Amino acid sequence: MNVVYMGTSTFAVPSLESLIASRHQVVGVVSQPDRPRGRGKRISPTPVKEIAEQHSIPVYQPAKIKSPEAIKQIKLWQPDLIVVVSYGQIIPRQILEYPAAGCINVHASLLPRYRGAAPIQRALMDGEKISGITTMFMDEGLDTGDIILQLEVLVKDEYDHGQLEAILAEKGALLLAKTIDQLENGTAPRIPQQEELASYAARITPEDEKIDWSQPAEIIHNQIRALSPNPGAWTIIDNNKTKIYKSRVICNEESGVISRIVEVGNDGFSVQSGKGTLEILEVQRAGKKRMPVANFLRGCKLQPGTLLA
């Protein structure tokens, strides 16, 4: 089949690579416009664009996928199938209805749970033990189309967003290949989503990033791993905004003075939360590199009893 691939982020790379390696022909790639990225904020291509260019696949980057020009370009490629993975814009009906085999999506949750922009981060924030991948036929709703296939993934306690995203991206590529095989041979199921089970994974906002030490240690730990490596949960340590990337719940029941540093060790320091104690293991001060707490403590002499803001 001739396939148009629409994707932007790192999550979308394994699925594109799988398609390129398959018997199908990727006739075009649609990705978001190049934007400033990284610490230096240099204009950089999207991860998907980089892969496409390595394989000499045409890349189109419209500011608005709903524009007549964008719709015309996709139709010029004459795709039999459109695959959408972490693209970042709502696809209009004129595109959804064009390919004969349909327009399908790889979504990083077990739909109908965690529809929306941040399914992996919101699932981690909620402390979910099971996540997964869904392939679905796209419609004009927000991740509301009929389910084709699903695959469950166990979420280990130590997984952060980056780790879980990488695992789900690889699983998504495998599930996509199986989905396309079933589309070709006419065995792909169409399972309507159960609306009463739906939940939404809203985009992460700056308000989600600040640590509230009055929350239980388990909640804060889940916030930290959900926002690691980006954008990072933060607090104020020694009058400096400090991101925390790695933590460990060491007690769920203890209570005491909220945000007080309870103990300072060689490899971490523990902080009293609203319920329980959290050990901080990896941090980053503004303008500095991410580092283990052992390195951080060489330049910041924390003492038990210090309060974090």
Structure tokens at 183: 């589309």
Measured distance CA(299)–CA(306) in Å, rounded: 16
Is the confidence at residue 254, as pLDDT, over 80?
Answer: no
At 96-115, the pLDDT tens digits run 999 999 999 999 999 999 99
Residues facing residue 213 across a β-bridge: none
> Residue 282 has which token pair?
């990896």
Exposed, middle or buried, 206 (CB in 10 Å: 0-12/13-18/19+)?
A: exposed
In this prediction the pTM is 0.94
Return the CATH class of domain 206-299: alpha beta
Residue pair 9/40 in contact (Cβ under 8 Å)? The answer is no
Helices 47-54 and 13-21 meet at what angle, rounded to 10? 20
- To the nearest whole percent, how much of the chain has pLDDT over 70? 99
Write out the residue limits of the CATH 3.10.25.10 domain(s) in the chain: 206-299
Strand pairing class (25-30; 59-60): parallel
Pairing of strands 2-7, 81-85: parallel
What's the confidence (pLDDT) of residue 266? 87
How confident is the model over 239-268, as a mean pLDDT? 91
Please say if the pLDDT value at position 74 is more than 90: yes
114-134 pLDDT tens trace = 999 999 999 999 999 999 999
Summarised one tens digit per residue, pLDDT across range 195-213 is 999 999 999 999 999 999 9
Phi first, then psi: give them for residue 127, nearest 5 degrees. Answer: 70, 25
**Cα end-to-end span (Å), the chain:** 57
Residues of the chain with CATH 3.40.50.170: 2-197
Mean pLDDT of the chain: 96
Cα(212)–Cα(254) distance, integer angstroms = 17
**What pLDDT digit, counting tens, does each position of 14-40 carry?**
999 999 999 999 999 999 999 887 767
What distance in Å separates the CA atoms of residue 172 and residue 11, rounded to the nearest whole number?
Answer: 9
Distance CA 117, CA 207 (A): 16
Surface-to-core class of residue 36, CB atoms within 10 Å of its CB (0-12 exposed, 13-18 middle, 19+ buried): exposed
CATH number of 2-197: 3.40.50.170
pLDDT above 80 for 253: no
